[in-house]
Amino acid sequence: MGVLAVSFAAIFIRLAAAPALIIASYRLTIGGAVMGAATGVAGWRSPAHASVAGTVTRRDLPLLAIAALSLALHFWLWTASLE
């Protein structure tokens, strides 16, 4: 299912009538919601392994921010390249 979704993403983005930044924002928001729901379900089934927040330190936060911004920039530029 994931391979099909990724395979058709460029086609659906090309057909969309919205600016690249809006498309990329929606794509990241929907992906985050799906992953958050999957994490919540996994945590509900196994509460002992539900939270990874305890393993993230303050020192990791700048790296996480850089990774998130890089991913957002990647999606924005990739979506803009399809136009």
The Cα–Cα gap between 15 and 57 comes to: 42
Asked whether the whole model's pTM tops 0.85, one would answer: no
* pLDDT at res. 62: 92
Reduce the DSSP state of residue 1 to 3 states and report it. coil
pLDDT tens for 15-73 read 888 888 898 888 888 888 888 887 777 666 665 555 555 577 788 889 989 998 998 89
DSSP 10-62: HHHHHH--S-HHHHHHHHHHHHHHHHHHHHHHHHHH-GGG---GGG--GGGHH
* pLDDT at res. 50: 53
